[in-house]
Chains A and B, each alone.
Chain A
Amino acid sequence: MDPEAAIRDYLAALDAAAAPLDLERRAELVAEIREHIDLALGEAGRRDESTVRDVLERLGSPGEIVAAETGTMDAVGAEWSGRPGEVPRHALSVETRALLWLTVGAVVLPFVGPVIGLWTATASDRWTVTQKRTAVLIFAVLAVMPFVLLVPAAIAGEFMWIIGSGGFALPLVPLAGIVAAAYLVASSSLVLTVSRKT
């Protein structure tokens, strides 16, 4: 194998193995190992296949290096989670409040309840931005649907039909909040988080 390709593969494997680390440390670790390889090869004065193989073997496997790193990270994490003053400031977590607004709130206060719920959800650091956006989209589409359904009837001047059909289409509005809430729960490990906190 081409020695330069072997180095590239090793560093790529290290970078992949280091994915659990934070971005800054991950880049730093790969840079440190790259520099080590360069220094070791500079010292050897050769960059041939067997020298490169020897240097990489002495480094140990990428998994081994990252394991040495993550062992530390876990220890650091444990210290942090044990710190006093890091407890949630609210009796109910952000996620629980958001879900309550999206479900109970959607029935009690159609439109307003789910909007408050979605707004509350934006403060959550457990849901990703994509998950929050998708929930907003689900709510918006389902909440707007009754009105979209009514447009053709309104254009045709069928006002009696509007009143009649509105009766079955409008329950979609609270349903929108409930479906959005169900999506947020299903799309994350929140079921556990929320049930543990409340």
Chain B
Amino acid sequence: MRRMVLGTARNPIPELSRGVVEHCVLALLREDESYAFELVRVLGSRGLVTSEGTIYPLLARLRRDGLVSTTWRESVTGPPRRYYQITSAGRAVLDGFLGDWTDFRDAVDAILAGAAEREE
């Protein structure tokens, strides 16, 4: 039984993070605007992105969905940079996600804590 469960969900974390990373991007933009490379750095340093290049399609989707807006700014070093800002639609999506995520996390934590107790 135990072996079967392990077999069906061997490594769910990459799968999970795919659905969650775009909300993390929105969360990072909540306080201040940022540019893609900086976002990649922060997400990468926390282990949330394994393939850094996939952030660019994700940002393009957020743009298309109107959850972020962009502005080109001159940079001190190198070419102009595209800065991302969260839109009001993006804030609404993020607020919704925060509630859902808290419920989800609590539910998973409770189940995992229960399993840990039984192990002891």
Q: How many A-B residue pairs have CB under 8 A?
A: 59
The segment out of A27-35, A100-108, A190-198 that lies at the interface is A27-35
| Chain B residues positioned under 8 Å from A76 (CB to CB) | 64
Among candidates A28, A42, A60, residue contacting B50 with C-beta atoms closer than 8 Å: A60
Shortest Cβ distance from A10 into chain B, in angstroms? 10
Tally of B interface residues using CB under 8 Å:
18
B52 and A36: CB pair below 8 A? yes
Bound-complex Cα distance A88 to B57 (A): 32
A69 and B64: CB pair below 8 A? no
Among candidates A35, A65, A71, residue contacting B79 with C-beta atoms closer than 8 Å: A35
B52 and A29: CB pair below 8 A? no
Given contacts A35-B37, A65-B56, 12 further A-B contacts (CB under 8 A): A29-B60, A36-B36, A42-B77, A59-B51, A60-B50, A60-B53, A61-B51, A62-B53, A64-B54, A66-B57, A68-B51, A68-B57
A residues contacting B by CB (< 8 A) are: 25, 28-29, 32-33, 35-36, 38-40, 42, 58-62, 64-66, 68-69, 71-72, 76
